[in-house]
Amino acid sequence: MHSDIANYIPRGAKNISPHGIQVGLVTSDQIGGSNVLKPNEFSVRSASVHDAMIMESIEREAFPELIPLSRISRDITRDNGLYLNAVRKWRPSEKKLKSRLMIATQAEKEDPRLSAKLKRSINRYFLDYINPPRLPPDYIAGFVGLWFVLDEAHVIVIGLRGVDRRKGVGELLFISALEQALANNSKVVSLEVRRSNDVAIELYRKYGFQKVGLRIRYYSDNGEDAVIMTTPPIQSDDFKDHLFSLTQQHAEKWGWAVRPGYSGH
């Protein structure tokens, strides 16, 4: 899912806390009951402008067909926006890599063209020593972006590195987005998804989203339609109980993940 919604979401949003983060609704003790849950390798934190270079690299990898991409460095500072990153500790083998190699997509690293090889060599043997890019303190596996407009939260993007798929990271980010929508007193959450993306549509349905319409020829790369999906009222006890249950299932499968408002203590 990726959307360029600046053209149709109105300006003006709910007030968000100074750091864009609200406290959560439950603790790990409530989720896990008397059972001690294993820790998840990944945690979720608020994104900062210093993360933008890595996030834009992930976006290029996740959505290579979309041009232009969103301006994450700009959107991170939006008054009505919130970006969350799924992160883990850097591994020793990753720290040995040169900085510009860490912000390249897999396709860019493997590009066999002579011009691409030359660029990699210049980066490795010259630019990384002269002007190395600033990397974040932790490894970023993926991110989710939210806009808060009036009483609605809109999920604008979920992007993951290819190597970090099928690890529960995307669903963890989605859970965190819903939790932040609840904490910011949004009434509903909406999103767009490609009509052909059955896997994503089933995930969203699992969390209570329903199809409410189409945006015809919404995606610029191939003219594919976007399915508009939205939740029932998320402040209802039924929705909160359903989210609580799914969050517990995710934690039991993948481990308890520290995230905004949910420290695990």
User: Is 204 part of the annotated catalytic residue set?
Assistant: yes
> What is the per-residue pLDDT across 38-56, written as a single tens digit (0 to 9) for each?
999 999 999 999 999 899 8
- Given the residues 139, 204, 218, 219, select the one marked as catalytic: 204
Average pLDDT over residues 135-141: 91
Query: Whole-angstrom Cα distance, residue 182 to residue 235?
Result: 7
Q: What domains does the chain contain, in order, with CATH numbers? A: 28-89+138-254 (3.40.630.30)
- By CB atoms closer than 10 A (0-12, 13-18, 19+), residue 184 is buried
What is the pTM for the complete model shown? 0.81
Please confirm, yes or no, whether 262 is among the known catalytic residues: no
**Per-residue pLDDT tens for 116-134?**
667 656 555 555 556 666 7
CA dist 29 and 230 (Å) reads: 30
The residue annotated as part of the active site, out of 59, 61, 152, 192, is 192
Tell me the C-alpha distance between 221 and 128, whole Å: 33
